[in-house]
Amino acid sequence: MMISGVPLCNSCGEQLGFEPNGELFVACHECNFAVCKSCIRHAIEEGRNACLQCATPYDGDITVKAIGQAAFADHSSMAGYFDKDQDPGIHARNISSVSTVDSELNGEPGNQIWKTRVEGWREKANKKKKTPAKPVTDAQIPAEQQMGEKQSVEPARPLSRVIPIPKAKLAPYRTVIIMRLIILVLFFHYRITHPVDSAFGLWLTSVICEIWFAVSWVLDQFPKWSPINRETFIDELSLRYEKDGEPSGLAAVDFFVSTVDPMKEPPLITANTVLSILAVDYPVDKVSCYVSDDGAAMLTFESLVETAEFARKWVPFCKKFLIEPRAPEFYFSQKIDYLKDKVQPSFVKERRAMKRDYEEFKVRINGLVAKAQKTPEEGWTMQDGTPWPGNNTRDHPGMIQVFLGHTGAHDTDGNELPRLVYVSREKRPGYQHHKKAGAENALVRVSAILTNAPYILNLDCDHYVNNSKAIREAMCFLMDPLVGLDVCYVQFPQRFDGIDRSDRYANRNIVFFDVNMKGLDGIQGPVYVGTGCVFNRQALHGYSPPSLLNLPKSSSSCSCCGGCWCCFSSKKPAKDISEVYRDSKREDLDAAIFNLTEINNYDEHERSMLISQTSLEKTFGLSSVFIESTLMENGGVPESANSSTLIKEAIHVIGCGYEEKTAWGKEIGWIYGSVTEDILSGFKMHCRGWRSIYCMPLRPAFKGSAPINLSDRLHQVLRWALGSIEILLSRHCPLWYGFGGGRLKWLQRLAYTNTIVYPLTSLPLIAYCSIPAICLLTGKFIIPTLSNLASILFLGLFISIILTSVLELRWSGVGIEDWWRNEQFWVIGGVSAHLFAVFQGLLKVLAGLDTNFTVTAKAAEDTEFGELYVFKWTTLLIPPTTLIVINIVGVVAGFSDALNSGYEAWGPLFGKVFFSAWVIFHLYPFLKGLMGRQNRTPTIVILWSVLLASVFSLVWVKIDPFVSKVDSKSISQGCISIDC
């Protein structure tokens, strides 16, 4: 029988077993990852002699025990406690055990469901007690047959592998980082011990700014200490889970697409995203697409109807000719040889016909958009004459419509299509709806009722599937029993279409996605960036990963006397105070009531107490059907489920009052409290002990659009920075949240800390960018006359900065132009969007004031990248414009002063001009954005420049730097000497 409370192996699901001295078997003493002796022996035979979770090599004693001792329960010292009914020649690793929980949909209150569940457990336990264990002897199965069965089982090949960065590239990189850290310490020692008395205020300001920059560099640099690459084996995934003549064993996936305003998010773009999802290279019965219309727009609904009809032609065309990408707008606009690798004679003819069908589809969508420009006074009416329920976007019922799928229309070849579901959650005045995060949580509940796939992939409406095998890439991690047990999500990098060739405003974020995220993947995993992410549904439900051992508390366990494993060990050491504190913190982090993998380790009474309807309703809400789905570790919906009942329950769970007094948005689902709900949600999962994986296939998995206009780009950055400030000032701040739980690695905590404090860098940055101009205008400087030693120190600092960047580009493969664009926009965003985000965040969190910045646009040019040259006035443009003006004025004033002062003034001038030129060069893309195409400067910029230049000119006249200061005494003496 199964011993209550004994942890299960994370690889095969069997209990760990015990040492000869009665202690619980622990394979890795570094992270306590639960693996049994048989799995360790299997791993050693395959050449893996390290922990699957932390990669720490196993101790020699553990290796000897795993190989030398028998792998079966009959040879262990605790043989009497294991189930004798199992075949001794087969280990659980080779047994397909898929456990599901039956769902009862009878429309009655949920109490009966839980009573039935508990009674079922009791009956099962009684049967185990009454049925005596049947001893299995070797005579029943000949030894020769046992050996043959053992030899016929081939070890499963891995579905992915980690590719470490070569030591030849990584070792110099780490060495330079340490050297730079040492040089920084010496640099600050010199700066602090050598103040500039003539410009003490400027010197003190510069030192404070430099210290903050150094701290920011540490937070950004050290999480990149152990970057890794990964490789997937899709063919092996197919061999393992897709066999001829058998149903596909691949896990189901629910796709989430969210949209709000079809006037700002064109329906044609959303339609292309949906079409690319429906045409993915994945079993159709395993794919469901949920579209959230948070604006309750009839335009979105009607365009989805047209999309579903066009999908009947588009999906079979893509799968027949292996089209990439499978979004028609982007496929037909490719400037490539579309005949490459195409051998079917009918391809050209069918492609031409499909392009014509798509153009007709676009015309129909454009007609719907044109019709929606003016809303009728009586509101919108559906085709059957009934009013559209969402005419009042702030007060309407929940709406769900299912298209396609098993019971819907098939494609033109007669094959089934993936399910497509339209969802618009209920909205009523007086309720907080939490914008995108609330819409995503509504989709989590609806999908759990209707399909309950174990994995969820969310996409923005403007991000389409660029690689039809992207889901298989993710499944190589999530469905690997050795890798995916404690993986909460697989994040793909964001790639974009329509970016100008020079990427003026660093829209591609290459440095972040190709450098920082690879570094995080070597720690606990990348951060969640809001789109292109495949989630483990259990992680969204707030459960802890299976690898964490949440054993019963000693008070309740020992009271059973014989039901808990601690009773088998007579020498159980008392917990240390630090362990008790850490356990209490971990309990605070756990949103769910229990760990799914340990549910069978409890007796009937403990289960009934643990899984009570009341406790689960407080967490998940008043829906017994949804609660039942959360207990299905492998997902799925019972075949006996009534579709009409499911739809009614789905409508219920998207009600505007469903989340009240529950853990939604607090501990489970997408977390509320910040406009950057993505960072916060991923952070909560990592704090619970989950890890994430970064997947970068050769062909980008998803592609989207990004704002290439300067003002739009700054407002996008403003939103991200504002979300970081909100997290910084909340209880979820990484500086202290979950600190005692011990589940978040310290380098991962540094990375999350960097993601929320980076907007604060705007304050020292704008001060530091102003100092060169002030020095040029006043003739003072922040650095005293340098000695030889100080010159070597400054030179070493500059060389270490350059070497760090060069070596980072070397191991990451990022180009120098992408790196330079990132550096430039770091300054541009820092002195504009980040600065406003700090003050707006303080006003919002501390004073409750929500400030919005308006964007006023002029007409765009109807050319390629015409949006790039559109000038949109916003207050975010004022600080960087001011910095450019004062630095240019300062450079002119500095050269004028040097010309009048003589040769000795040119030496100090070069140091000041160097720092001022550093500011101007970094702000150069911003200046180009103000000038527009062919140096056409908008009138408003000219007015601001003249105004600022006039102010500084008046200040300059007041200073009078070129007029020698003569006192009144000398003047009077001169007057006396004059002979009148």
The CA distance from 164 to 976, in Å, is 86
Q: Are 503 and 706 in contact (CB under 8 A)?
A: no
884: closest CA among 919, 929, 933? Answer: 919
Q: Which residue has 């002796």 as its token pair?
A: 37
Question: Which position among 254, 293, 294, 503 bears the catalytic label?
Answer: 294
Residue 137 DSSP class = P
* Rama region for 527: left / alpha / beta (φ>0; ψ in -120 to 50; rest): beta
Residue 164, classed as helix, strand or coil, is strand
Helix (H) or strand (E) holding 739: none
- Is 678 considered catalytic here? yes
Alpha carbon distance, N-terminus to C-terminus of the chain: 124
765: exposed, middle or buried (Cβ count in 10 Å: 0-12, 13-18, 19+) = buried
- Is 850 considered catalytic here? no
Helices (H), 565-709: 577-589, 604-610, 613-620, 624-630, 643-653, 677-687
Residue 386 DSSP class = P
Give the number of other Cβ atoms within 10 Å of residue 949's Cβ.
Answer: 14
Q: Are 652 and 644 in contact (CB under 8 A)?
A: no
557: closest CA among 547, 546, 548, 568? Answer: 568
- Paired tokens of 745: 């690695």
Beta bridge partners of residue 856, listed in sequence order: 873
755: exposed, middle or buried (Cβ count in 10 Å: 0-12, 13-18, 19+) = buried
- Rg of the chain over Cα atoms, rounded to whole angstroms, equals 33
Residue 399, classed as helix, strand or coil, is strand
SS (H, E, C) 178-189: HHHHHHHHHHHH
Give the number of other Cβ atoms within 10 Å of residue 712's Cβ.
Answer: 18
Residue 610, classed as helix, strand or coil, is helix
Length of the chain as a residue count: 980
What are the helix and strand counts (H, E) for the chain? 34, 15
Residue 37, classed as helix, strand or coil, is helix
- Paired tokens of 551: 């054993």
Distances (CA, A) of 612 to 608, 617, 786: 6, 9, 73
Question: Which position among 254, 462, 480, 678 bears the catalytic label?
Answer: 678
Give the number of other Cβ atoms within 10 Å of residue 866's Cβ.
Answer: 14
Q: Are 885 and 955 in contact (CB under 8 A)?
A: no
258: closest CA among 397, 429, 442? Answer: 442
The CA distance from 357 to 323, in Å, is 16
Instruction: Strand 399-404: give its sheet, edge to edge.
Output: 399-404, 419-424, 287-293, 253-259, 455-460, 533-536, 487-491, 691-694
Catalytic residues: 294, 678
